[in-house]
């Protein structure tokens, strides 16, 4: 299975990962709950997953591309 390109992953990460933009992104709120040990409600856990998967997919794509570049023969 091919990973989506950056032209798809970056807008998805910015739009879905940071939504809603005002007053603060949900991922910021959920990470604050996680850091404080208060992330216990199922909806909050789902929300953390929902808003973080675009960033995780983008990181996987970046690491995969870097791994291929490092492992490529010189030339």
The per-residue pLDDT string of the chain (75 residues; one tens digit each, 9 = 90 and over) reads: 788 899 999 999 999 989 998 899 989 999 999 999 999 999 999 999 999 999 999 999 999 999 888 876 665
Helical ranges in 1-75 per DSSP H: 6-18, 26-35, 42-71
Q: Which residue has the tokens 């005002």?
A: 22
Cis status, amide bond into 23, omega within 30 of 0? yes
Q: What pLDDT is attached to residue 74?
A: 63
| Threshold 0.95, pTM exceeds | no
Q: Give the list of residues 6+ apart from residue 52 with CB closer than 8 angstroms, or none.
A: 17, 27
Q: What is the DSSP secondary structure assignment for residue 38, as one 8-state letter?
A: -
């Amino acid at each position: 299975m091919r990973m989506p390109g950056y032209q798809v992953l970056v807008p998805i990460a910015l739009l879905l990962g940071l939504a809603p933009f005002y007053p603060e992104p949900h991922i910021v709120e959920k990470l604050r709950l996680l850091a404080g040990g208060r992330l216990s409600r199922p909806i909050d856990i789902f929300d953390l997953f929902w808003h973080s998967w675009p960033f995780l997919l983008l990181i996987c794509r970046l690491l995969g591309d870097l791994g291929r570049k490092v492992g490529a023969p010189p030339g």
